[in-house]
Structure formats: C-alpha cells, structure tokens
Structure 1
Amino acid sequence: MGKTTVNLEPETPFHTLTVDQVAQHYNTSILEGISSEEAAQRLQTYGTNELEGDGGIKWYKVLWRQFANVLVCVLIAACALSFATGDYAEGGVIVFIIVMNAGIGFWQEFSAEQTMEALRNMSSPTAQIIRDETRVTVPNNQVVPGDIMIFEDGDVIGADCRLFEVFNLETDEALLTGESLPVQKNLELIESPEQPLGDRLNMVFSSTTVVKGRAKGIVTSTGMKTQIGKIATSLLQADTHESTPLQKRLNKLAWCVFIAALFLVVVVFGVHNFVYSKEVAIYAISVSIAIIPEGLVAVVTLTMAFGVRRMAAFKAIVRRLSSLESLGAVTNICSDKTGTLTQSKMVAVRMWFPADGYYRVSGTGFVPEGEIFRQGEVAEDSTNEEKVDTGAGSNSYLRAIQVASLCNMSELRRTQHPETHGEWSAIGDPTEIALQVLAHKAGLPKPDLVAQGFNLIAEFPFDSSVKRMSVLYQAPTTAEGPGDHFIFMKGATERILSCCSAYREGDKEVSILSEKGGSRTAFESMIAEKMETLAEKGLRVLTLAYRKFDVVPGVDLVHGLVREEVETNMVFLGLVGIYDPPRAESRPAVLKCYEAGIRVHMLTGDHPSTAAAIAKEVAIIPEDVPVHNNPLIMTAAQFDSMSDEEVDRLAELPRVVARCSPDTKVKMIAALHRRKMFATMTGDGVNDSPSLKAADVGIAMGQSGSDVAKQAADIVLTDDNFSTIVQAVAEGRRMFANIQKFVQHLMSANVAEIVILVIGLAIKDKDGHALFPMSAVEILLLNMITSAPPAMGLGLELPSETSMREPPRSAKQGIFSFEVVMDTFIYGLAMGILSFASFCIVLFGFQDGPLVGTDCNSHWSEGCDGVFKARATGYTAMTLLILVHAINCRALREPGWTIKNLKTLNTNNTLWLSIIIGSLLVFPVLYIPGFNHTVFKHTYLTYEWGLVIVDVILFILFAELYKFIKRRTMKPLSGGTDAETEMDRMRTYTMQGDSVLEVKATK
C-alpha cells in the first residue's frame, strides 16, 4: 500500500484521541490494515513485540548443566585421582573426555533449547490481525503498531490497542490494576490524559485476557512500550526448565550407577586387602569409569531435540517435553469433530421452513456463487425443484435469510490486494461464514442490509452453556417513523425451541399451541423429525428464530438488557443444514488407531444423527449400526445423567457423544482414568481448559483454539488435523522405543567392561598386583568414542514397521522393562566373556603370561609386550563387538543381520557412519607408535586379528540365536487389531445393547 512509518512518543495518550486520529498517526486503515511490506519495515523500526528478559536461553546455565550431574562428578573425581597418583597421561585424557562431553552436550542441549524456545514462541498466544485486507494469524512478537487486531472470548491480548469496534467486551485487567472484576469496555472518548489505567475504557492492554465479547482495535504500543512492559512483568513467560519423567528416571539411574561405582571401588581395594597403592587406585578408577555411561546425557538430549523437531515438522508443537514421552502410552483419543476430523469448510446445503418445506443450496466453500431451489416436502425431490430468484421468496424464507445474515459476525468480501485481486476472503467462525455465504446467494448479504439502515444495537454472543447467539437490531427508518426493533437468534435446535412460543408460516405468526401444532410436544416432535432427516445426511443443523422487540422507555438498550428476559417468546423460522466434509486423511488415521490398539471417541456439540453420520464416514463406528438406542452413541444429557458407578458398569464407553459440553469432556476423562486408560483430549475453547488439564495429554487447536486452551495444553496442533494426533502418538512410540534401544546399547557396553575388569582381578602380575585387562583410557574411549555415537544413531532411528501395530505400553512402564534389563545383561555378559577370552588366549596361549614384565599396568617394556598385545586384542574385540551390537539393538526381537534389515541402514546416516568411523578409529589407536604404548597401554596387533574376527562372528550368531529363542518363547509384541475385527466387536456390542443406557434413555 506504500504507507509510511510514523514515529510516536511512547507516552502519547491514545485514549484521548479519536479512532481517526490514531489511524492517521499510524497511517493505517481500520478496514484494510497495513501491508506485509509495511509491517516488515515497522518491525525494524519498533522492534519485536517482546518483553526484555522474557524467557530466553542462558548459555551459561546450559553449560553448567553439563557438569552438574553425578556421572560427570565421578569422572572429575577419577581425573583428580589420576593426577594425584602421577598418571598425567590418563588424567589428561579424562580431562579431554570431560571437556569433549561437555562441549557435545552443550551444543546439543543449547540447540535443543533454541528449538524449544522457537516452538514455545509458536505455541504462545497468537494474534488475529488484518493485513493486506485479509484476516491472518501471526505470532505475538510479529505484531507492530498500526496493525488492526481482533479480539475474541478467551484471547490473551498481545499489545496495547485503541478500540474502534466493541460488542459486549469485558477484559480481566487484574494483572495491571489489581481489580478482580472484569472491566467492561466502550468506545467513548476520554478527555483527561491523566485518567487512571483502569478507567481507560476505550483501550485494551497487553497480557490482559478477554473474558467476554469481542472487539477490534488499532495497536498503539508493543513490547517494552506497553503498559505491562513499563512495569517489566509478563503473564506469558516461557516455561521453566523442568525435568521430565524420563530425565528424573535417568537421574535415579545416575545415582544407582554412582553407588555401584563406589561398591566396585570397595571390591577392588578389598581384593588387595585394603592396602593403598598407585596401581590399586588406578584399577579402582578404571572400574568406576567402566560402569558410567558417560554419553547418556548427551544422547538423551539429542533424542529429545530430534523428537521435538520431528513433531514440529508434521505440525505438532510440543509445549511440555513430558507429553512427548507420554504419547506412546495413549490408549484412547477423545477428539472434537469440526475442523479436526472434518475440513472446517462449512457450506449451507439444505434448509427447511414450516410453510415451504425443504430447500437445496448449490455451491461450495465461501465463494458466494450458487443457486437456491425449493424442493417442497420431500428433501430429495430434485425432479420438482423450483429455483428461487435472488431477493425473492416467501416471507418465512426472506425473514430466515435476514436472520442468517444479521445474527452473524463474519465478514465476506473480495480482496483489493494486487496479488489476490478479486478473490473472496472470509473472516469469522466457519459456521457463520457458511450462513453469510447463504445470505449472499439469497441476495441479502449483511453489508446490503446494513446499508439499507439495519442498525446493530446489542449482542448476546454465542456461549457454550446456552448454545445460541442473539442480536438486537433496529430496522431501517421509513417515512412513517423509526424502524421497529427485532431480536434475531440462531443456535442449537433444542436451545432455540425452548425459547420459542410461536412459529412463522408465510406472513403469519402461529402459536405452537395452535390447532396445527396441537401442543408443544407435537410441534417439537415434528421439528425433531425434520432435523433428523437433515442430520442423517451428516449435516450440522442450526435453527433460526426472531421476534419483534418492544422498547421500554428509559431502558439502556446496550447495557440494560438481561439475556434471559430478551430471549423469550421467540418465533421459530426454520432449520439450516450445514455440511462439513470429513478430511480425506481422517478415516485412514482412525483405522491406524485400531491397528495400534487405540480407541477413538468423538465428542462434539452436534446433533446425535449428524455426529453419527460423520463418525460412520471416518470409521469411528460401523456404517451399518443404528443411531438410536445404540450404546456406542450417546448425548451429553444421557452420559452426564449417569452416576460414576453406572458409567463404570458400561461394557464400553460411548464412541460418540453428541451435544457435548466442557463438563462432559471432563467426565469422559475421569471415566477413562477409572478404567486405567491413558487418554488424550482435544479442545479449542476457553471452557475446554479443565478437560485439557485433566487429560494425560491435552491437545489444543492452533488455528481455531483460544489462547487459554493453548496455555492449558501439552501439545498444540498448527493444522487442527486428527491425523496429526495419530502421527504424534507414533512419534511418541518411536522416541520411547529408541530410548530403550540406546540405553540398552550403552548399558550393555558398561556391563561388558565390568565383566572384564571384575574377572580380571583374578589375574596377578609377578608383584602380586591385579593385571589390567583394559586401561582406564581404553575404557573412556570405548564409552565416549565407540559406544556413544552409535547410541546417538539409535536415538534417531525411524519408526519400525510394527510400532503402530503393537498395543500401547503401560503408562507405568519405565525404560527398563524386564526384556530390556535381560537383554542388557545377556548381551553385556556375552561381549565381556568373548573379549576377556581373547585377552586370556593371547596372554596365556600365544605369549609368556603375566609374570614376565614389571609394572605392565603403567609402562611398556619388552617383558610387558605380551600383556600389551593381550590388552590390545581385548580392546579391539570389545570395540567391534560394541559397534556390531548397535545393529542388534535396532530391534528387540527381529533379526538384525538380514539383508532387508541391513539395507535399511541407509535411512540412518548417523548410525552407519558412527559404526564405520568407530571401526576405522581402531587403527590409529593401535598403530601410532608411542601413542599406543604411553596413553592406551597397549600395542599393535598382527595375527591376533583372527581372534577378533572370530569374536565378532560368534557374537552375531549368538545374538541371532538369542532373538530366535525370544521370538519362540515370549509373548508377541504385536497386539493391535485390524479394522474389521474392531468393527465386528462394536456391532456385537450394539446388538447386545446395554441396560444402563436403556434405563437412562427412558428418563
């Protein structure tokens, strides 16, 4: 638009300026906003909309965490002991290992923290603004002065704004003023620049919350220039660095390892009769180092960071790391329908009026192009359809279109932006957009009616507790005088009917108790029949009503009306059927849930027949089961009326709950928890916060969700898509399985080293000292250079083919399941025994034994050459066995050395590169003269390579035999079911019925 930036003093009293003055100051338009190019320029001028010092990553804290753990403390103690005993080479290597470990850990964790910080910013309260003439959602920190911001119920306001459009707006400003009651806003100009903050009623302020209503405003201040910025306080600070359950379990492991290390040190000194010597101390250091998985912290950090990034890649933002660990245990998914299982591309396709019968509406999306046809009393009578001319129709029809148009806060217009000129755009709730498109097709769009003189006086916004919305309009003034006042209403049918005392038939208003109606019950039954006809087609049914409103002199029509009094004696107009087609990916995602042993529940505010129709389309329930008297399908009234004991007696919880309220969601979660299930719950509204917090994993909608819901959730979906939830569960399973893989790999190596060193205590040299089968530096190299990189590769493994065909793991199941612990010790023993056997064969079979040289633990000599060769053989064998074992750890039971499995290594570059590089590193460690003798206390190999190769072959054969035995003797991991089996089970349950449901249904 070519608008220029206007710099203002931060103390400008915007509450004393008119809307036009504020718009002129910032060179903005309240209809079109500013352009994206101008916004980018202003972002450079004013800075991002953030508070200084809010959250952020402290590099020194991340660095400190690399040293502040038990494992590193043991290494530091070993390093100090090495220097104290004069072994400077070993002490230097330990220092290098500590620094390298800290460096790798710092880099990984700092990168992970930066990723998490970026994701926290993405999931923090966003702003709805108008830019380039289109309503868009942007992160709060991208808002600039001059933006046109839109607020709705439940939003956290992202900047200070001067209001220019208000409908029943109330905000919670306790953060700024300490006032506990909500503040009702208006547009009245305030003359005093010194007006107290709490009395600036034409302004809203950053970090306050919309309690009620909606509004639009011009952004006047951002970042530190806002009122909240001036007092350096923020309601929306970033999450603290809190340990996740996994990290807590690993901390416990660290303490167990520390205690075990101390025990082994005592054992070493006990074998030497507690006589201190340099050799005994060094051996004790070696043993304590051998049991420590030094790379564990770095590998966990890398796996977490990779998991978070993968989740973000398929549009799931992790707000709490603990939820990433919990997803693999999910047994039930409770999902909303609109926008999650469906496309949220609503279009009005059917109508029904008492006098006219059914209407069909053509066209798709929010492009107002289509025609309206009257069908009469038969909903599908396309042969006798009669086209309705634009702007024409019966009185009932025209009045209903008028209600759909005016009881509506959405906006529909063609953009004038050069890049999108002529395209239709819509702002507002998808349901209201569908009604506004219908009004355009009928020739009565809201802008035209407003231009004719319809004037909005008051609004009672949609509320989930009443499930309806009402507006008070004054009709156009005529030559005869001011126009009449009318209440227009739309909402859920049962909530509208309870407010109605008459219905519209042509140009007459007929009492529900008239001869045709007979009684309220008869009339409601007739409406229920018509609504059922529409709902069975998968249509969401809204009801329209109106009445003439008699103004009482002296009553404030803006603030003096009581909703309960206004919404009475309404006149029923008709029904509108809105279709929201399911997402193409919803049905395959639900079927995948069945294979994974996960049950899906739909909790929606729609009519039971509508909900059931969509549930059948996406395979939540079988297509051939009845809707009525089906225990799988309940209304919220039925479900809520049951006691906890009655709910617990149900053989199965309902798969579809219609007319659902926020309290119903909480009750469903509680019922699942009593059945020891692990559940996720989706939500988008302010009132969904309790259920999101009650669920094991709360998932908020990023597009349609309120900021309050996002703050209460553990995960935010940026695409509001059910299939993303299933992908998130798969990712949770992948991450948990990978953690088990790399922990098993690391701990197996530690067990193997302990086996060698403990058995090695029995071998004495000529001076009576224990002979080291491995030096401390060799052990450090095995743990950090050989074992850690493949473990990192295992942490990055892609999901296995069977991960989503296995039952959910128990929520109480930790990393160390019986199978993982058994594998750790069996593989560790096998590697340790093979390596020690090679050491002994070389030492006693090919060399002169341990009694030739002197001080062979510390120095090389001719007499110690045999010991050094044996040590080199054992070290090389252990190195290759650890690398080979990484292939075994890719699957608990599946063969690791099949051609198919080896081919999949190319999907994990980190793993196969770490194996190749780890193997190649053996050669410089063995063959660099001086370096091998002085630092590692071993020498080069010749014919001993034959033993090493035999060890590798034997270990591979042993591992495959061991997995074969496990597959034959242990319960299969796969426990999901195919879709047809699940459908048959639901059909059987439906046929059996349920006495509890039948009793409640008749009440």
Structure 2
Amino acid sequence: MAKNKTIQVEEDIPFHVLSVEQVAAHYSTNTLEGLTSQEATERLRTYGNNELQGNGGVKWYKVLWRQVANTLVAILLIATALSFATKDFAEGGVILVIIIMNAAIGFWQEFNAEKTMEALRNMSSPTAKVIRDEVRMIIPNNQAVPGDIMIFEDGDVIGADCRLFEIFNLETDEALLTGESLPVQKNLDLIETEDQPLGDRLNMVFSSTVVVKGRAKGIVTSTGMKTQIGQIATSLMGAGGNETTPLQKRLNRMAYFISLAAAILVLIVFAVHKFHYSNEVAIYAISVAIAMIPEGLVAVVTLTMAFGVNRMAEVKAIVRRLSSLESLGAVTNICSDKTGTLTQSKMVAVRMWIPSDGFYRVSGTGFDPDGEIYKQGETVAHGGSKVPEQLVVQGEESNHLLRVLQTASLCNMSELRKSTRPESNGEWTAIGDPTEIALQVLAYKAGLAKPDLLSQGFKLIAEFPFDSSVKRMSVLYQGPEKEGRSGEHFIFLKGATERVLGCCTHWRDGDHERSLMGEKEEMSREEFGAMITDKVDILAEKGLRVLTLAYRRFQPAPGVDLVHGLVRSEVEQDMVFLGLVGIYDPPRAESRPAVLQCYDAGIRVHMLTGDHPSTAAAIAKEVAIIPADVPVKDNSLIMTASQFDAMSDEQVDQLEELPRVVARCSPNTKVKMIAALHRRKLFAAMTGDGVNDSPSLKVADVGIAMGQSGSDVAKQAADIVLTDDNFATIVQAVAEGRRIFANIQKFIAHLMSTNVAEIVVLIVGLAFKDDDGMAVFPMSAVQILFLNMITSSPPAMGLGLEPASASNMCEPPRSPKQGLFSFEVVMDTFVYGLTMGALSFSAFCTVLFGFNNGNLGSSCNTEYTEACEGVFRARATAYASLTLLLLAHAINCRNIRSSSWSMKSLKTLQKNKMLWLSIVTGALVVIPCIYIPGVNHSVFKHTNISYEWGFVVIALVLFILLSELYKFIKRRTMKPLSVRANSELEMERMRSFTSQNTRVGSITETEHKS
C-alpha cells in the first residue's frame, strides 16, 4: 500500500462505477489495515472536519443582543438619559460605562459558555467505527476522513458516504435522501452508469442514513459538505437547537415577578412624592427599580451551567440536553444494564458443559488464544490422552466437541487479529461483540479459528442476527466439498438457554443424536430441561453468563433463495442441542462503591439484564445491588422479564417493592419498569445501548446512552451519553447534578438577599425628607449599581463554582416539582436580606442622627455641600456596611445549615479561588470608591469617613453572630438534610423484606427451572 501519498481534494467522482480496488488505490488505503493515525491526521487537515456547514452554531451577534435587549438595560438607559438631561454627566457617564461593562462581561461569559456547551454537545453526536493502525476504534464522526475503513452495524447512523466492499444482509433507510419509505437492500455489484439515480447506487451508503438490518464495511469516499446530504444542505442529526430548560423557564417567571414588583415600588416612590415629577424623583424611582433586579443573574446561571457541562465531560458524561443537568439531582431510581456498565465487558470463556463429557475448564485471559481446554485436569485441545489435538480438528471420535467449537467459531461475527506492527509486540486485538469475541478466542484455543474453517471450505450463506426479542442468533453455512460433491448445509445457533431449548427437538450425546419428541424420545423434554437447568445453575451461580449452542443439518428445498427466501422461524427449528459455554465478565472495581454511594444518597439501583437469573443475581450481589446473603429463589426482589411482563399494572403497583434485578430483560420490560416507577411518583434514570432501547430512554426522566457500545439511535434518544459506559460515571453525574442545583440555589439566594437589603434601605429611606420636601437617598443609584454588579455578582459566580458539599450524596433526592425557591430558600432570602438592610440602614441613621444632628440639607441627592456633609458621610457608611455584609453573606451561602465561620469551613474557602478572590477584591474596591476625590462626591454621592468604620465593623460582627444563631435555630427545628437510611440500613431493609414472605411475582423453584 502506498504510504503518505498526497491526496488532492477533487471534484465529485462517481465512486459507484469504480471497483473496490480502484477506490482503495485512489485513496491509498487498505481494506484490512485501514489508515494510520498519522495519515488520518494529515487528511483531516486536507479535507477538513466531517461536518455540515451553516447548520447553526453560536452566533456572536445573537449573544450580544441578549445582553442589551432586556429590562435592566432599558432601565439603565433611562437613568443615563435623565442624568445627562440634568447635566449630571459624572453619574450618567458611570451608568453608561456600567452598561457597556455589563454587556461586555456578559457577552464574554455567555459566548464562551455557549461555545463550550456546543463543543461538548457535539461530542455526543454519532460516533464512527473505523479501522486504523490495524485495529478497530471508535472516533468522533467529525474526525472521519476519505480513505477510512468504516464499519456499520444494525442501528448505526452512517457518518459519511462510503463505497461498500463487505456486506451481509445490509439494508439502509434512505428516506432522508430519496423519499423511499422502504429500506434499501445493498449489494457489491459494480454499476456501469455514472448518472445512476441515488436510490439505485446499491454499492454505496450515504451519510445520515440509518442501518436498519445487517452489517457492512466500506471505504469513506466523501465527508462533510462533499457528501450527498451535504450537497442538499440538510442535516438529520442535529443535537438540538437552543433549548429552554425548566430552570430557564423558572428564571423567566421570576423575571416577570421581579419586573412587576419593581413597577409597584416605582409607583410607591412617586406616590410618596404625591406624583410630583422631577428629575430627582425619577432618579430615585429608577434606583429602586435597579435595586430590585439581580443584574448578574443571567451571567451567573450561564457560567454555572457551562461549568457544570464541562465538569460532566471531565467525568466522561456528555450532556446532550441541558434539562438533564437539573433533572439529575432529582433521580430516585437508576435502572442499569449489567454488561459493560456494572461489569468490565472483558469477557472470557472459562467453562463448557457437553452432555457426553461433562464440564470442561478453559485457561487464558483476554484476546490471547494461548490457552488450553481441560477436562478433569487433562488437556483436551493440545494433545490430551483422550482427544488429541489433531482429532479435535479432523477426527470423528471427537465429533461432538468438534460441533460445539465449530458453532462457537462460525455462529460468530467477531474478528481476532494478531498485530503485525513492530511496536505492538504481536499483541492480539479483536473486533466485535465482547460475548462473540470470548467464543472466538475459545475456538482459537481449540485450533478452530474461523478464518481456518473458512479456508477449509465453509461458506456463509445466510445470517439471522441477534435480536433482543428472541435472544438468539443463527447462521447458515455450506460445508466443504467432499469427493467432488457440494458440501452439506449446516445451521449453527447460539443464544439464551430457554430460547435455544425451545428450538431443539434432539440433543447430542457423543456421536449419537437422541430425540426429545414423539415415540422415539429417549428422554422427555421436561427431564432434559431439568438436567440442563441444573447445569446452567451451576455455571450461573458462579456469576457466569451462559450461552447455549445448537446445530442441525439443513436440506434446502429446491428453488428456494437461500439468501433472501428463508424464514427465521422455519430455520431455527428441529435443532440439536450441543452444549453450554460459561463466560465470565468481572464486575468493575468501582461498581460496588458506586452502588453503595447511591444507597447513601437515597437512590435505589435496579439491574435490568438479558442474563440468566442466577448470573444476574450473582453479579448483583457482588456489586451490592442486593445483599449477598439473600436467596435467589422465592425472592420477589429478583424476577425474570416474563414474570414481570405478565403482571398487570395493578399487580405491579401492589408490590411492596419493585424488583431490584430483572433477568432475561427485553426492551419492553424496561419501558414497563419506568412506567411502574412513574406511577409511584419516582424519578428514574435508565441506561441503554441498543436500537430497541430508544423507547425506554425517551420515557425515562433521564435517558443515559452508552458511548462505546451504544448505537447511534440510542444516543439520539438519550439525554446524556457516557463515553466510558461505566455505572460509576452515572453516580458521578448524579452528584454533579445535585451540586449544580444546590449552587444555583446558593447564588440566587445571595443575589435576591442583596436586592431585599437594598430595597429595605431605599424604601424606608423615603421617610426622610430634606429641606425642600424631597426624599433623601440613603444610597445613590451608582452605589446600588456598583453593589449589584461589581460587589455582588462576582461572589455569586464564585458560589456557582462551589465544590460539592460533604453531604451532597448523603441527602435525599429533591422532589422533581421542587423549584429553585423552596420554603427554606425563600425564608433565607428574606431573613438575611432584612437583616443586612436593617444593619446597613441602622449605620446610616446612627451616623446621620447620632453624630451629625440629623441635618438633611438641600439637594443632597445631586451635589455635595457643607450642609450635606452628614448625609454624604452616612451614605458612605451605609455603602461600606452593605458592601461588607454582602461579601460576608457570600460566605454564609456556602452552607445552608452548617456554620460557615468555623475554622474548618474557612479553610475550605481557598479551594474556590473565584469566591475568595471576589470577596477580597470586593472589600478592597470600597477604599478607592470612598476616598478618591471627585469620584466620591460627583459619582457615588458620598464622602470620606473615619470613625464611621467602627459602625461598619459592628454591623459586620452583628450580622455574622445573627447568621450563626439563625442557622443554629434551623438545625434544631428543621428536618435534617441527611438521609436517615444509609447503605447498611438499605441492605438490612432488603433482607427484612425478603424474609417477610412477600413473594408476589417472585421466582419459585419450578419457575426458576423453566
């Protein structure tokens, strides 16, 4: 293969008229090895990302418009105009600068946040399976380049236009491009007509179409805007437009309420002045309106959401829908798959059972076929005394074992390869489903590798792929030719034991086939089923996933199309039972701690798996979903899907406890479980990876798709995509969702308390009239703006970035209906706001009336005179007091109940650099505002202070003491936040439940054997 060849970006080429060899040569690629990573990187620079242009994205002008098109800016502009109209250029200029600064800061934060969230959402777009560096890997679809070898499977969304070179029963849905409602069946035939209609280019697949059946490999011919979908400028797979989340809707409602309250306060200001209009009254009214509006709220929410999405990505959970960030904190139940989520998905066949020989052991780990098959301590596959290795492959006396291993090898779509690259040291790699890989490795250990069997003359004729509804897979092969005659046809079948046994009418006993049917039956079906069930139990109770193998000779009817004319139900009948294979998939080390953490957080975990009940129960015990000492039989915590599905909704609702383990689970079972949880007013997260999991992912409150093993259809239906398919990541995501919601409540409480405090000072200040009969401002408009935007907003942003509290995963899930303003948050807002307002106003009154004779002067709202000295000093004192109180309140808001001023709590403050830097900076900014000549008199309308700092300190100390007293009272009188039942109590509760003879729908001894 030519390497590092310069690829030129050419005009459209009709690749459907080129042979596979011509296409491979054109792109200097190899259908077996694929491109190297270096070549792929170079081509990505040449061709650009595999994505459509003009399909949305973040528009800077829209973000900027959102910063200026709001009620706050309108109010500030009115204040600016009034200031300039009254020739108060200093105040008007400051307000204008604040408008520009607020828009700039908000634009910068929101634009970067939107870019971050867009990039992270794009990570959850469909991925592509490609072969690079001789191994199969999963890459973001936008990284695919021409010349890549792309692999397609059932349920995949095709990521680029490709020329097919290997297919099996491939059908695609091309309705997006052609309008054809029926799936298109593909083939590899060369097409001679260049202008062939798109729907008739059967040796090509196109970007954004969906694989509805079969599997294939193809060479990428076009990406991005060069694809057919790109040429008609249409996109099927958007990640969603700008989404209005429940949080944003609540904030919008809050904005309407605040606007209404601000309007009422403005009316109050004018009413106090008997609706006599003047510039001063208008400025005061606008000041009150400004005080009512939390200017920094939008920017803080945006920053917090962006940071949360970024943090989720760091723990390998990609957020596709922002609403899921809020929903995660309310999750009460997690329904998880087993394989690859709770377990490592590193399957290895470790046991076999054959009726004629009994149990076999298999050594070796991973993909390396350097292992042996033992029977009673003797090596079988490598020249043991009973069955020498050469007889395993060729002889007749080992025919039974031969058929077992042939079935494992041929009823299998996985590929096992030994790397030829020098740097790989001959490492073995695999492509395919983990279960099939384990069977293929077993076949390799016996010398029956699939490539060897194919080279000996076995030819694949037809395939019926694994389907979750039937839980089995079958293939039709034609065997090697014998003495010039066509080879026999064989059907090989593998799948779940109960589904395979239902297809069997015979069983293999050494070289003999024994009947289970009719007059010739040598063992009744019931007796045989009981025998097999006992063997399955032995394997399953060790935590092994058990697959059953069967085969039969097949005599095709004359004239029948063996590729398209076969009916699955007719093919998979009259089978001969061969044996069992036990596959071990060890649990992930982090699964058990994660499950226990769920119980500590008041979240219950359910395992919904396709495995045998005993296998599922064994793994569930290992990862602590159920206690290790509870029985599997006669336990309604463990059910099969057939039992659960057979129950009516009323019967399910009568269960004291929904099952924690559902075995032999089907997609419909998952939907029924979610519905049962919803009827109990519970909030559920559901995991899924297959095409058929889409309904359950959609109906779940939080749908979680697997990023590695999941189909693109499942990812499209999900709210969150796990890039590592790990259950522990779900728990981390829940913890992050709780942290985000708690922090939003913290900074909203802080911002709203600030507004309440300012309103208290301004409204009560209406009672003070100067010599002209005008109300005296306890605080000027610029002071209020400075407090809201410069002093209060940065600490609020810091609160949005607060680490999770120690009790974050030791608190019960919040109610889904609980909004931001719970009773406690509202109470805190008013208690802290009124306290800060009262202390600040008290400082104002003490300075004005206690030390300046209460002289209110004239026109002290607009200019400084000696007569206004007392008012200006009092105003500076109130401003300094409220500044430090707001900063201290930011520390208060870090903990809703516990003390924020203990040494332990203060030490943790340094972990949040944004918060403590904003507090330090906010405190230091007070100095120049008060003491810079000109700025103090003309802009802030206050003057230098000296002894008044004593009143500021007194107000600060009193606020801290009162806050600690308030929290102490809350701890004594309110319901504790922590969960009463921890993981140990949850385990004990399940043991108690099991022992109470609550067995409605449980697995009985008879049902367990069925």
TM-score normalised by the chain length of structure 1: 0.97
Counterpart of 2:786 in structure 1 is 781
Mapped to 1, the partners of 2:82 and 2:422 lie a distance apart of 74
Whether 1:364 aligns to 2:365 is yes
Mapped to 1, the partners of 2:238 and 2:984 lie a distance apart of 48
- Answer whether contact 1:410 1:427 (CA < 8 A) is retained: yes
Mapped to 1, the partners of 2:1003 and 2:166 lie a distance apart of 51
- Answer whether contact 1:345 1:365 (CA < 8 A) is retained: yes
Mapped to 2, the partners of 1:937 and 1:679 lie a distance apart of 56
Q: Deviations over 1:957-988 (max 9, x none)?
A: 00001101111111111125222211111011
Whether 1:161 aligns to 2:162 is yes
Mapped to 2, the partners of 1:822 and 1:80 lie a distance apart of 37
Instruction: Name the stretch that deviates more: 928-937 or 32-41.
Output: 32-41
Whether 1:319 aligns to 2:323 is no
Give the deviation of 1:54 after TM superposition.
2.1
Instruction: Name the stretch that deviates more: 992-1001 or 677-686.
Output: 992-1001
Counterpart of 2:949 in structure 1 is 945
Give the deviation of 1:735 after TM superposition.
0.5
Give the deviation of 1:768 after TM superposition.
0.8
Whether 1:457 aligns to 2:458 is no
Q: CA RMSD of the aligned region, Å?
A: 1.7
Give the deviation of 1:106 after TM superposition.
1.2
Q: Deviations over 1:927-950 (max 9, x none)?
A: 100111000000111111111111
Mapped to 2, the partners of 1:708 and 1:389 lie a distance apart of 48
Runs of 5+ consecutive residues of structure 2 not aligned to the other structure: 379-383, 393-397
Counterpart of 2:691 in structure 1 is 686
Give the deviation of 1:481 after TM superposition.
1.8
Q: Deviations over 1:416-446 (max 9, x none)?
A: 2233241111100000000011011111111
Whether 1:865 aligns to 2:869 is yes
Q: Deviations over 1:200-239 (max 9, x none)?
A: 1111000000001100011111111111111111101231
Mapped to 2, the partners of 1:387 and 1:263 lie a distance apart of 96
Q: Deviations over 1:162-212 (max 9, x none)?
A: 111111111000000000000011111111112111111111000000001
Amino acid paired to 2:230: G
Mapped to 1, the partners of 2:715 and 2:387 lie a distance apart of 45
- Answer whether contact 2:634 2:1003 (CA < 8 A) is retained: no
Give the deviation of 1:96 after TM superposition.
1.8
Give the deviation of 1:70 after TM superposition.
3.3
Mapped to 2, the partners of 1:975 and 1:619 lie a distance apart of 19
Alignment CA distance shift 1:278-1:471 (3 Å): same
Q: Deviations over 1:787-836 (max 9, x none)?
A: 00100000000000011111001000011010110011011111001100
Counterpart of 2:975 in structure 1 is 971
Mapped to 1, the partners of 2:863 and 2:177 lie a distance apart of 72
Give the deviation of 1:518 after TM superposition.
2.4
Alignment CA distance shift 1:812-1:241 (3 Å): same
Whether 1:761 aligns to 2:762 is no
Counterpart of 1:241 in structure 2 is 242
Amino acid paired to 1:264: L
Q: Deviations over 1:501-530 (max 9, x none)?
A: 111111221112487752112111111111
Counterpart of 2:597 in structure 1 is 592
- Answer whether contact 1:391 1:444 (CA < 8 A) is retained: no
Amino acid paired to 1:804: M
Mapped to 2, the partners of 1:932 and 1:589 lie a distance apart of 57
Whether 1:197 aligns to 2:171 is no
Counterpart of 1:275 in structure 2 is 276
Q: 1:771 aligned to 745, 769, 776, which one? A: 776
Alignment CA distance shift 1:1001-1:651 (3 Å): farther
Equivalent residue of 2:551, what SS?
strand
Mapped to 2, the partners of 1:616 and 1:42 lie a distance apart of 49
Alignment CA distance shift 1:84-1:648 (3 Å): farther
Counterpart of 2:610 in structure 1 is 605
| 1:86-485 matched pairs, under 5 angstroms | 86-375=87-376, 389-393=388-392, 394-485=398-489
Mapped to 2, the partners of 1:40 and 1:701 lie a distance apart of 26
Whether 1:721 aligns to 2:726 is yes
- Answer whether contact 2:144 2:223 (CA < 8 A) is retained: yes
Alignment CA distance shift 1:568-1:417 (3 Å): same
Give the deviation of 1:101 after TM superposition.
1.6
Runs of 5+ consecutive residues of structure 1 not aligned to the other structure: 380-384
Figure out how many residues of one structure are paired with residues of the other and give that number. Answer: 996
Counterpart of 2:395 in structure 1 is none
Give the deviation of 1:458 after TM superposition.
1.2
Alignment CA distance shift 1:1002-1:610 (3 Å): closer
- Answer whether contact 2:638 2:1002 (CA < 8 A) is retained: no
Q: 1:994 aligned to 992, 995, 998, which one? A: 998
Whether 1:701 aligns to 2:681 is no
Equivalent residue of 1:863, what SS?
helix
Amino acid paired to 1:15: H
Mapped to 2, the partners of 1:626 and 1:1000 lie a distance apart of 11
Q: Percent identity at matched positions? A: 73
- Answer whether contact 2:9 2:47 (CA < 8 A) is retained: no
Counterpart of 1:794 in structure 2 is 799
Whether 1:502 aligns to 2:503 is no
Q: Deviations over 1:706-733 (max 9, x none)?
A: 0000000000000000000000000011
Counterpart of 2:569 in structure 1 is 564
Equivalent residue of 1:162, what SS?
strand
- Answer whether contact 2:72 2:290 (CA < 8 A) is retained: no
Give the deviation of 1:701 after TM superposition.
0.2
Amino acid paired to 2:240: D
Q: Deviations over 1:826-873 (max 9, x none)?
A: 11111001100110111011113234x321110001111111000000
- Answer whether contact 2:635 2:999 (CA < 8 A) is retained: no
Whether 1:888 aligns to 2:892 is yes
Equivalent residue of 2:767, what SS?
coil
Give the deviation of 1:112 after TM superposition.
1.3
Equivalent residue of 1:997, what SS?
coil
- Answer whether contact 1:70 1:255 (CA < 8 A) is retained: no
Q: Deviations over 1:680-725 (max 9, x none)?
A: 0000000000000000000000000000000000000000000000
Equivalent residue of 2:610, what SS?
coil
Whether 1:61 aligns to 2:62 is yes
Q: Deviations over 1:252-288 (max 9, x none)?
A: 1111111111100100010111111121111111111
Counterpart of 1:382 in structure 2 is none
| 1:592-741 matched pairs, under 5 angstroms | 592-741=597-746
Equivalent residue of 1:479, what SS?
coil
- Answer whether contact 2:617 2:661 (CA < 8 A) is retained: yes
Alignment CA distance shift 1:312-1:387 (3 Å): farther
Q: 1:838 aligned to 836, 840, 843, which one? A: 843
Give the deviation of 1:119 after TM superposition.
1.3
Q: Deviations over 1:143-179 (max 9, x none)?
A: 1111100000110000111111111111000000000
Give the deviation of 1:386 after TM superposition.
8.0
Equivalent residue of 1:947, what SS?
helix
Give the deviation of 1:115 after TM superposition.
1.2
- Answer whether contact 2:794 2:918 (CA < 8 A) is retained: yes
Mapped to 1, the partners of 2:743 and 2:387 lie a distance apart of 63
Mapped to 2, the partners of 1:901 and 1:629 lie a distance apart of 50
- Answer whether contact 1:375 1:386 (CA < 8 A) is retained: no
Counterpart of 1:79 in structure 2 is 80
